[in-house]
Amino acid sequence: MNTTIELNNESPVISEIPVDLIITKKCLNGNKHRDLTFSDASDNLIFRVDGQSLKSIASRNNSGIVLLDAGDHPLITICSNNYGGWQGFKGDSAKEEENIIFRVEKTIESTWKRELEVNMGESKSCLKIRGSPFQRNCTVYENNSIVAQTSKLYKLGKIIVGRRKFRLTIFPGRIEHLLIIALNVIFFYGYN
Annotated domain spans of the chain: 19-100+149-190
Query: What is the tens place of the pLDDT at every residue in 178-191?
Result: 999 999 999 987 66
Instruction: Find out whether 118 and 129 touch, Cβ atoms under 8 Å.
Output: yes
**Cβ within 8 Å of residue 75, ≥6 positions away:** 7, 47, 67, 68, 69, 91, 178
pLDDT at res. 165: 86
Query: What is the tens place of the pLDDT at every residue in 60-116?
Result: 445 578 899 999 999 998 888 878 889 999 887 766 778 889 999 999 888 789 999
pLDDT at res. 183: 94
Instruction: Report the mean per-residue pLDDT for the chain.
Output: 80
Q: What is the dihedral of CA 33, 21, 125, 102, to 10 degrees?
A: 50
Distance of alpha carbon 41 from alpha carbon 157, whole angstroms: 19
pTM of the predicted model as reported, rounded to 2 decimal places: 0.82
pLDDT at res. 60: 47
pLDDT at res. 34: 62
